[in-house]
Structure 1
Amino acid sequence: MDGSVGGASRPGITLTVAKKADQPFVKGRRKFFRYRDLGVQAATGGKLRAQVMEAITGMTEPTGWHTHQCEAQFIYILKGWVDLEFEDGTRTRSEAGDAILIPGGMKHNEIATSDDVEILELSIPGDMATHPCEPPPKA
């Protein structure tokens, strides 16, 4: 099979259906979250990653300023809330139904979460590295 349907080509992308009961938990960046892999990274040859982050406990301290080596990180809050701050001075509490697109390399810090937060996270490309960094200068 060549990945085409009705004459449209879909190089390197395969159909994937992820059932919650079958989604494996994978190693993640934060000890207070558990991460469910949705199979998108494998299905796109690493072009896109999708996972759900679920709180094990609420955050006990901020994550610290960091960046992600990627083109972009998208988060959609499914349940609960998360407080974030960004290098441009933006501080926000995002709640269920809210979404944030963070450009790759942008400094940010997760300050706090609810004990029940659940977040859908996408990244382009799928392999996203996290690097601690110095806080941005105060405005």
Structure 2
Amino acid sequence: MDGNAAGATRPDVKLVIAKKENTPFVKGRRKFFRYRDLGVSDATGGTMRAQVMEAITGMTEPTGWHVHHCQAQFIYVLKGWVELEFEDGTRTRMETGDAGLIPGEMKHNEIATSDDVEILELSIPGPMGTTPCDPPAARG
């Protein structure tokens, strides 16, 4: 028996094991982070993406307001901390063990990080574009 419910078909997802020694950190969209692709995008045909972001240095300036073009972005802080602000007025400092789900197209700004921050980031779908945007309108 294959473990699937009777008549169920397995999703078109491949098994992937990302070993640290085979998935090196590389440069990416932020100059103060390096990124490690965990192979999920290839294994899911782009349905989902997973990567680890690690600080090269702490942030020297906020990222600026931006949106990500995806359905959702999930972040889990593995080490250190990151400060974020969102279009709805939420401002938070996420520390080791904290997690957040950011809806796609939601305006947000990364304000600061610790020098040792590490974050696991997932997005659906896998390709996730980033576009700078104007800050949200002032709330009164």
So what's the TM-score if we normalise by structure 2?
0.93
Counting aligned pairs with the same residue, the percent is: 77
Q: Deviations over 1:19-48 (max 9, x none)?
A: 111113344210000000000000000000
Structure 1 portions without partners, runs of 5+: none
C-alpha displacement at 1:134, in angstroms? 0.1
Rounded Cα–Cα distance in structure 2 between residues aligned with 1:115 and 1:85: 19
Counterpart amino acid of residue 123 in structure 1 = S
Alpha-carbon distance in 1 for matches of 2:17, 2:72 = 24
Match of 1:62 in 2: 62
CA distance in 2, matches of 1:88, 1:11: 36
Q: d(CA) in 2 for partners of 1:6 and 1:98?
A: 33
- Give the counterpart letter for 2:97 in structure 1: G
What is the TM-score normalised by the length of structure 1? 0.93
Q: Which residue number corresponds to residue 29 of structure 1?
A: 29
Aligned positions of 1:3-18 closer than 5 A: 5-7=2-4, 8-18=8-18
- The RMSD of aligned alpha carbons is 1.1
Partners of 2:121 and 2:26 in 1: CA distance:
14
Number of residues of Structure 1 aligned to a counterpart in Structure 2: 135
For structure 2, the residue ranges without an aligned partner over 5 or more in a row are: none
Instruction: Report the equivalent of 1:113.
Output: 113
User: CA offsets per residue over residues 30-86 of structure 1, 9 Å max, x none?
Assistant: 000000000000000000000000000000000000000000000000000000000
Q: Give the structure 2 partner of residue 103 of structure 1.
A: 103
| Cα distance in 2 for residues equivalent to 1:25 and 1:40 | 15
The equivalent of 1:123 in structure 2 is: 123
State the distance in 2 between where 1:26 and 1:57 align: 14
